[in-house]
Amino acid sequence: IAATTTAERITFAPGAADMSRAALRIVLRHELFHYAARSATAVDAPRWLTEGVADYVGRPPTPMPPQDATLLWLPTDADLDTPGAARSLAYDRAWWFARYVAEVYGAPTLRELYLRACGVGHPDLATAVREAVGADLGEVVADWRRWRSG
């Protein structure tokens, strides 16, 4: 973990001092998103989606890595707490889902999905996806998998 965000501040881990300028910019943009969105984000929001959207804001698009069946399912909040490479892959899957929504449905739809799925009083994810994207969650995930497969 390179940094964390609270209602009052963004705090960088000691190891952040050794990060490249490019990596530090990514982390800062990611954390600034969390800081800016904090008043619109519910405490019980799906963390994987909040992290995926923050990564969408913070990370530049890069080519997809080679296909791997283990990467074709949405992460859970618990996946983000798994140590090591599994945690990194969970963040990547959340980011790829956010990228998919923005690229296929448009960045305004990604914003709407975030507000519906992560806002105070948010419905379940399936309802939020249906309201924001206009499609069934299963359909969106299946299309995301095809998009992810290239």
Residues pairing with 63 in the sheet:
none
Per-residue pLDDT tens over the stretch 106-133: 999 999 999 999 999 999 999 999 999 9
Q: State the alpha helices, DSSP H only, in 59-84.
A: none
Per-residue pLDDT tens over the stretch 22-50: 999 999 999 999 999 999 999 999 999 99
Alpha-carbon distance of 85 to 58, in angstroms, equals 20
Angstrom CA distances, 114 to 13, 65, 110, 122, stand at 27, 25, 6, 10
Per-residue pLDDT tens over the stretch 52-85: 999 999 999 888 777 666 667 899 989 999 988 8
Residue 150 has pLDDT above 80, yes or no: no
What's the length of the chain?
150
Helix (H) or strand (E) holding 11: strand 10-12
The pLDDT of residue 4: 85
- The type of residue at 149 is S
